[in-house]
Amino acid sequence: MCLMFLLALSYALESIPIRLNIVVPAFYVPLAVALSSFLYLPIIKYALKKSKINLLDNIRFPNLIVCGMLIILAISLAILTLPLVSPVIYARLILSGQLGFYSFKPLVFDASLIIAYVHRIIIGPAFEEVFFRGILLQQFLKKYSPQKAIILSALIFSFCHLKLYSAIELFVYGIMFGYVFYKTNSIIASFILHSFGNLILELFRKHYTIQIDDSTLLNLFIILSASVLMLYLFVKYIDRFQNIRVGNKDKTINFGADR
């Protein structure tokens, strides 16, 4: 109930002035969106006290190999989830013989852009990873199997964004954020994936379309195959990626935690 109230308050901060035709500065909406993230604070404080979770236990920094894999994974996810951003529109494009792709969005540095980037890359991912993975997913893992816990947390993550048109895309991202947190037991790891995922989507949000031909299909096959392969390698070998050699050849340091 408290979460629903805060979501409604967040929506009000962002949209009411616009709907009432109140003249506001250009940076108002991104600023309101950024500030609305801080509404998670009372819920986080209450949940931590109630669950007795110590977030310091989840502050583990992944090694460089895992960090690199997370960045590449973020790129792969952006490619694989492109049709899920607007499924109906994408389906219509295919039926008309076209494919949609991301293209680089020219940057115009102003207050609105800076605020939006700070929120999307730092503030938003930080609060969301603490709440949805650090608290909510951990509580679900105590009651349910890992698969069910990750799916439930992803569903709530998707719902709380209040964006019906991209609910499926958000659900897929929620699954991957949850999986990364579960396998590494690190909020830092899921934050890196979340942050770079948002950065890529911000940089390449603009779309363009091309006609489907043999060359297009070949390029698409190569891109999708590489993205799927990256996803497969990450899921299959994440445990190995977390182990690094130090000093004595028989000694390893694992940045994740066995469950």
**DSSP, residue by residue, the chain:** -HHHHHHHHHHHHHHHHHHTT----TTHHHHHHHHHGGGHHHHHHHHHHHHT--GGGG--PPPHHHHHHHHHHHHHHHHHTHHHHSHHHHHHHHHTTEEEEEEPPPP--SHHHHHHHHIIIIIHHHHHIIIIIIIIIHHHHHHS-HHHHHHHHHHHHHHTTT-GGGHHHHHHHHHHHHHHHHHH--HHHHHHHHHHHHHHHHHT-EEEEEE--HHHHHHHHHHHHHHHHHHHHHHHHHHHHTEEE-SSTT-EEESS---
pLDDT tens digits along 82-126? 888 777 777 787 888 877 766 777 777 788 889 989 999 999 999
128, burial (CB in 10 Å: exposed 0-12, middle 13-18, buried 19+): buried
241, burial (CB in 10 Å: exposed 0-12, middle 13-18, buried 19+): buried
Q: Among residues 120, 119, 101, 133, which one has the least CA distance to residue 216?
A: 101
Give the integer Cα–Cα distance in Å for 59 and 52: 16
**pLDDT digit string (tens) for the chain, length 259 residues:** 556 666 666 666 666 666 667 667 777 777 888 888 888 888 888 888 888 888 888 888 888 888 999 999 999 998 888 888 777 777 787 888 877 766 777 777 788 889 989 999 999 999 999 999 999 999 999 999 999 999 999 999 998 887 777 889 999 999 999 999 999 989 999 999 999 999 988 887 656 677 777 787 888 888 889 999 999 989 888 887 776 543 444 333 344 444 4
211, burial (CB in 10 Å: exposed 0-12, middle 13-18, buried 19+): exposed
Q: Is 56 a member of any domain?
A: yes
The number of domains in the chain is 1
Q: Is 39 a member of any domain?
A: no
Q: Is 38 a member of any domain?
A: no
Q: Is 36 a member of any domain?
A: no
Q: Is 13 a member of any domain?
A: no
Q: Is 138 a member of any domain?
A: yes
> Which range marks the domain in which residue 195 is found?
50-244
Q: How far is CA 70 from CA 62, 63, 100, 153, in A?
A: 10, 11, 25, 20
CB atoms within 10 A of CB 15: 12
Residue type, 136: L
Q: How much is the pTM?
A: 0.84
Q: Among residues 61, 9, 71, 4, which one has the least CA distance to residue 35?
A: 9
Q: Is 83 a member of any domain?
A: yes
Q: Is 184 a member of any domain?
A: yes
